[in-house]
Structure 1
Amino acid sequence: MTEDRKKKLSLEFLDGIHSLSVALEAGYSVENAFKAAIKDLGLMYSNEALIMKEFQCIVSQINHNIPIEVAIAEFANRSKLEDVECFSEVFKTAKRTGGDLVAIIKMTSKTIGEKVEVMREIETLITAKKMEANIMKLVPFGILGYMLLGSPQFLKPLYHNLLGSLFMTVLLGIYLVLTKLVDKIIAIRV
């Protein structure tokens, strides 16, 4: 699964867990809560949305008498998302030990929501730093252009003799190396 699809499924999964939590609070059994969640998600997403397909797959497996925890575990294996895998483990443990599924799913939903919010904040900060870096890459050319237009005599010693040309070539090399370094630094994945 590509990174974009994983990110999209992660956000959709958060909505799916919210819908599941609401259905359980309304008194549905866990199996019927997934069916109700599909109806609820149908108001937000098309039938082609990743979460719709996954929840429909879970309901289909439930209808074929596959235990719900197995269906959720298969969803976790297909998605390769940490949140879904954690949810699967928590759900399996709660179902086996007779835990309060409503409270557990609600808490899981809250935790995943907070994690998504933090990830969005980090992404926003990284995007801002990337923009700053791109602007800083253009500043030397802006200064050079300004100097060429404003006082070309000032740059004559740097470009019209061997020592000046050598000096500026070395600076250009350093600039290119630093640009590559900046590109590597800002290529952070969250």
Structure 2
Amino acid sequence: MFSLADVRFLPEQPHHAAAIEAIADEAFGPGRFSRAAERVREMAPHDPSLSFVAELEGVVIGSVRLTPIRIGTTPALMLGPLAVRPAYKNKGAGKALMRLAADAARDTGERLIVLVGDPPYYAPLGYRSLPPGSVIMPGPVDPRRLLGLELQEGALEGIGGAVKARRRGLP
């Protein structure tokens, strides 16, 4: 048994890549490559400075990544994958990673994070449903699972358009 107090949360480093891929494979299986969110991640690389891992006794047990995107002309970040090894789920590591990533993004001036996920899990972290049809993903997505988090008040107002890649810091 472990305590969240025993987990170290660290910025993602290149040597974490293999562990992160293994965790995503374990969490989502081979079907993850057919998801619309994966199409977004193929368009643009994630930003390692806004991506984090959870380590327990030197072993990566979870990770979260943020990818710079545009929604229409609005700069945003796409969260995902967020994954925690099954033996460590439901202990708070995933939510801690989410908060850490959102705080880091806010601190760098980012205004908005979007993701595809389960509303009951993400709503307590401030994510809310986006208006159906407002954000066009590069593949089919259940509109009830498309969620956004304002890092700055009003960032979701009038959001709309197709999701495209962007380099961080640029519109």
TM-score by length of 1: 0.24
Structure with bigger helix share is: 1
TM-score by length of 2: 0.25
Structure with bigger strand share is: 2
